[in-house]
Amino acid sequence: MSAADSNVLLQEWTGPCQGVPGFDRVELGHFEPALASAMAAALEEADAIARDPDPPTFENTVVALERSGRLLDRVLPIFEVWRSNLSTPAFREIERRMAPRLAEFETRITQNADLFARIRAVCEGREMETLRPDRQRLVRLVHDRFARNGAKLAGDARERYAAIDRRLAELYTRFSNNVLGDEERYVHYLGPDQIGGLPASFVEALAAAAEERGRGGEYAVTNTRSSMDPFLTFSDERALRERVWRTYYDRGDNGDDHDNNAVIAEILALRHERSRLLGYPDYAAWRLEDRMAGTPERVNDLLTAVWPAALARVAEEVDDMQALADAAGHGIRIAPWDYRYYAEKVRAARYDLDSDEVRQYLQLDKLREAMFFVAGEIFDFRFSPVPSGSVPVFHEDVRVWEVTHGGTRRTVGLWYLDPFARTGKESGAWATTYRSRDALDGERTVLAANNANFVPGPPGAAVLVSWDDARTLFHEFGHALHYLSSRVEYPTLNGALRDYIEFHSQLLERWLLTDAVIDNFLVHHETGAPMPAALVSRIRNASKFNQGFATTEYLASALVDMRYHTTDPAGLDPRAFERTVLAELGMPDPIVMRHRGPHFGHVFSGEGYAAGYYGYMWADVLTADAAEAFAAAPGGFYDKELASKLIEHLFAPQNAVDPAEAYRAFRGRDAGIDALMRDRGFTTGG
């Protein structure tokens, strides 16, 4: 029996929708041999392109490279599912061994001198002038990817670059596993006398979490945002709030075997060294060169333009909370573990808005239906559940829908949803693809996935979520719609620049508060009655409430990220560095960074958002401006003409068009900061 016969990861995908991953047949022992075989196959394909005796052309070099690595394209998404959704100590050992081998593979591709010479010849040749615009962009993107990742290096510099990449891969794996370790092992078990103030639905979820861990009769607060956030918002037990807060914000920073401070220091040193090898003054300069922002200076201009207004709003929010605490005779000064709790009380007093009252109308299943409704109205997509068992899944929680286009009736792809928290799953929410769309050899359908960490209640009970969680659900679905909307021909053109990619998801959040969604899907989980108009009005009136907190905790992380990557890291102590930078920024004592360094997975578990966490705000400049366009359109957020322009210019092209040009084609002009400031209720200029 051949390896392909016995190893499901090496087999062609079969089943509906042009084939799907055989998740249900994967075994841990499959991963290492499958990855090794897939990397070897991709290297052979790359070498064959490099050795081609014919003169380099777009077809025999760039398109051939786009076609290469298909086997690895099947293996890696499944490997990522186990890393993100099903991690175990045994898998982490496999990941530890494979991370440097995967990094070495990537380096061997980009440092293939003969291959790069052919790519450069196409990029600089006469044929380039005859190519249509998306193909010209593809050539430039492929050329720049090689050039920016060491293709021009030689000798000792080339070898050192490769060694740095191998070591960074090891460190990224260690960092993320350390965070996951702290999330798994720190659980607060409470008794019946310690749940004062908590909503009944949340108490049920905590009881279910304790039961799952063999602690029936108790209540388990897990070390994830989905558990921490509502506990800090509602618990009347201040000492417990502090314990839960410290456990969450000290992930990776406990001076033990999961401590990430030394890992951060080494990552920063290696990134800096690698950037200098490539001729850049620091990592941020290298990272931002091919982003919308372009330079660290432009990033800092945006962040610091908003920072003073955010701080001013925090001061107002803290004064309001302190006054309330003083009037109640609580005898405290507002601390970080108090912010959510007293903000909730100010919200209730000022806007007559109780977050738990709102939660009664936010059922996970109904929100999913609402997202399908929006996808139908704006994108003309239809979501139909696939019969149980017809598409393999990696966990019983996962459900799958077929996505079709209403007008053409064509199958666009499948959408997988993995909604619930569990041991071995990364915290937070994210979107991904198991297969992206391209049309190299006939149109390939999309396999998109959304992942979340909601806390399930007792069997049969509705899963109720917070307003912020509902927005996050819509946000991540926006990424999925972006994947599903792709109309590009070449794989490299899928996706978007990192500081543009959050625009599509942030924009979709705006449909949550539209009348059509509120009237039809935000219904009471017991009575089925729609959300009362008075409550809707209070939600809208409070939409800018607590923006000081939300903006400041985010901006602090973005600013520290940029400072990490524009500073010479020699001898850097991450703890001291973080404290120093925040003090220089004037960070208010009652707030901490949304992501402290030791658990800042966006930045230190890989390079996706390194020197790039600012991207959420960069994209939000576009989001706020585009939202104003929809608000002013004749049909509002469901205006068909504007929705068509949105898809044509901003969703379907992916990275086949420069995003600044794409946005101008949609809006007729560039976006400025004023719409963002209005959206957050800030005064322009601070």
Q: For residue 181, which amino acid is it? A: G
The residue assigned the tokens 């300069």 is 285
End-to-end CA distance of the chain: 69
Grade residue 120 by pLDDT with cuts at 50, 70 and 90.
Answer: very high
Amino acid 686: pLDDT: 38
> What sections of 198-260 are H helices per DSSP?
200-212, 225-234, 238-249
**Token pair of 663, please?**
């946005």
Q: What is the pLDDT averaged over residues 32-48?
A: 98
Q: What is the pLDDT averaged over residues 609-631?
A: 96
396, 656 in Cβ contact below 8 A?
Answer: no
Say if residue 620's pLDDT is above 60: yes
Answer whether 0.75 is exceeded by the pTM.
Answer: yes
CATH number of 3-152: 1.10.1370.40
Q: What is the pLDDT averaged over residues 18-35?
A: 97
Task: Give percent above pLDDT 90 in the chain.
Answer: 93
Which of 626, 674, 618, 620 minimizes the C-alpha distance to 295?
618
Amino acid 201: pLDDT: 87
Amino acid 2: pLDDT: 53
3-state secondary structure of 442: strand
d(CA 631, CA 639): 9
Sign (positive or negative) of CA dihedral 235, 237, 242, 244: negative
Angle at the Cα of 450 from the Cα atoms of 226 and 19, rounded to 5 degrees = 150
Say if residue 472's pLDDT is above 50: yes
Amino acid 649: pLDDT: 97
d(CA 365, CA 249): 31
d(CA 386, CA 375): 18
Which residues, 6+ apart, have CB-to-CB distance to 462 below 8 Å?
363, 364, 365, 525
d(CA 564, CA 559): 9
Query: Which CATH number does the domain 364-496 belong to among 4.10.80.400, 1.10.10.10, 3.40.390.10, 3.65.10.10?
Result: 3.40.390.10
Say if residue 125's pLDDT is above 50: yes
241, 338 in Cβ contact below 8 A?
Answer: yes
The residue assigned the tokens 């990220």 is 561
d(CA 517, CA 515): 5
Biggest CA–CA distance in the chain, Å, is 84
Which of 509, 423, 472 minimizes the C-alpha distance to 224?
423
8-state DSSP, 495: S
Please report the DSSP string for 539-555 in residue order.
Answer: HHHTTTTTHHHHHHHHH
- Domain ranges, ordered by start, for the chain: 3-152, 186-249, 364-496
Amino acid 409: pLDDT: 86
At residue 413, φ and ψ (nearest 5 deg) are 165, -160
Grade residue 336 by pLDDT with cuts at 50, 70 and 90.
Answer: very high
The per-residue pLDDT for range 254-289, each reduced to its tens digit, is 999 999 999 999 999 999 999 999 999 999 999 999
d(CA 551, CA 309): 9
**Token pair of 99, please?**
């991370």
Amino acid 3: pLDDT: 53
State CA 121 to chain mean position distance.
Answer: 36
Grade residue 613 by pLDDT with cuts at 50, 70 and 90.
Answer: very high
Amino acid 133: pLDDT: 97
Grade residue 4 by pLDDT with cuts at 50, 70 and 90.
Answer: low
Q: For residue 565, which amino acid is it? A: H
Lowest mean pLDDT among 114-118, 176-180, 224-228, 315-319: 224-228
Average pLDDT over the chain, rounded to an integer: 95
At residue 28, φ and ψ (nearest 5 deg) are -55, -35
The per-residue pLDDT for range 181-232, each reduced to its tens digit, is 999 989 999 999 999 999 998 999 999 999 999 999 999 999 998 899 999 9
Instruction: Report which listed range, 124-128, 440-444, 459-463, is most confident.
Output: 124-128
3-state secondary structure of 529: coil
**Token pair of 227, please?**
């558990």
Q: For residue 78, which amino acid is it? A: I
Grade residue 457 by pLDDT with cuts at 50, 70 and 90.
Answer: confident
Q: What is the pLDDT averaged over residues 166-179?
A: 96
The per-residue pLDDT for range 346-371, each reduced to its tens digit, is 999 999 988 899 999 999 999 999 99
Amino acid 601: pLDDT: 95
Amino acid 685: pLDDT: 45
Say if residue 5's pLDDT is above 70: no
Please report the DSSP string for 339-394 in residue order.
Answer: HHHHHHHHHHHHH---HHHHHTT-BHHHHHHHHHHHHHHHH-EEEEEPPTTSS--S
